[in-house]
Chain A
Amino acid sequence: MNPPSDNLPLADVLRTANQLVAAKLIEDWALGGALAAIYYVEPFTTYDADIFFIPAGKGLDAGIPAIYAHLQAQGWQVEGEHLLICGFPVQFLAAHGLTEEAVREAVRIDYEGVPAKVFRAEHIVAIAASVGRAKDKARIEQLLQQADIDKTKLENILQRHNLKLPTL
């Protein structure tokens, strides 16, 4: 494990997610949540990373228990519903429906030499619209103001998943 750093250990988080694919525990994954939003908007405070994944299989050993067991065996600690990767809380969330589509269509990026995927801005808006908390409305407003949103794509996603943007 790397020593504590002044920066977030995001490269370690992304590398760890790639290792889960190599170990055939997950089929695919992408960064979602606040850190994905920050890819498109100004930085703001967040205390964890959300990794959305598509399980490699449908058996009982697929998904979160296997992921946590695998990563705990490598020395990562569990704190509540988070895994601590280099001390940074990471939540692994099984993707389905809209979030599965968001994983499959996520943008490929290179973060400090680590290949990764980040949800598209249009999917982040749609997911926030589906959740609907106050902070999700704020996220939608931020993305609409600051990100280059493909409005046709967003409308298509919203329509297919029977969603509407909240009144801002």
Chain B
Amino acid sequence: MKLEMRQKLAREPFAEKIRKVAQLIRLAKTSPRRAAKTTLAHPALSAEALERLPPKGANTLH
């Protein structure tokens, strides 16, 4: 993810970022391999994973 995108995420309100952390935790619990792959590379990549998530209920291929 581009630095500009990360900086944009960083500027979001704290409450919104905390909501995304909760989503990331749920992602890690439901798809631990996918979450581990992103967080091992760099913790910051977790936010990128979240941005790429399909809408809730969408069919996904892992």
Which A positions have Cβ atoms within 8 angstroms of B? 6-8, 10, 35, 38-47, 109, 111-112, 135, 138-139, 142, 145-147
Do A109 and B21 have beta carbons less than 8 Å apart?
no
Q: Which residues of B contact A44 (CB under 8 A)?
A: 21, 24, 39, 43-44, 46-47
The answer, among B9, B19, B35, for a CB contact under 8 Å with A42, is B9
Interface size on B, residues (CB 8 A): 25
The digit string for B1-42, where 1 denotes a CB below 8 A from any CB of A, is: 001001101101011011111101100100000010001001
Most chain A CB atoms below 10 A, which of B7, B18, B22: B18
Which B positions have Cβ atoms within 8 angstroms of A? 3, 6-7, 9-10, 12, 14-15, 17-22, 24-25, 28, 35, 39, 42-44, 46-47, 50
Q: How many Å lie between the Cα of A41 and that of B19 in the bound state?
A: 14
How many A-B Cβ pairs are below 8 Å? 73
Do A43 and B6 have beta carbons less than 8 Å apart?
no
The answer, among A6, A35, A112, A138, for a CB contact under 8 Å with B15, is A112
Q: Which residues of A contact B22 (CB under 8 A)?
A: 6-8
Do A45 and B24 have beta carbons less than 8 Å apart?
yes
Do B44 and A142 have beta carbons less than 8 Å apart?
yes
Q: How many Å lie between the Cα of A100 and that of B15 in the bound state?
A: 26
Q: What are 11 A-B interface contacts by the 8 Å CB criterion?
A: A6-B22, A38-B17, A44-B39, A45-B39, A45-B46, A135-B43, A138-B42, A138-B43, A139-B43, A145-B3, A145-B7
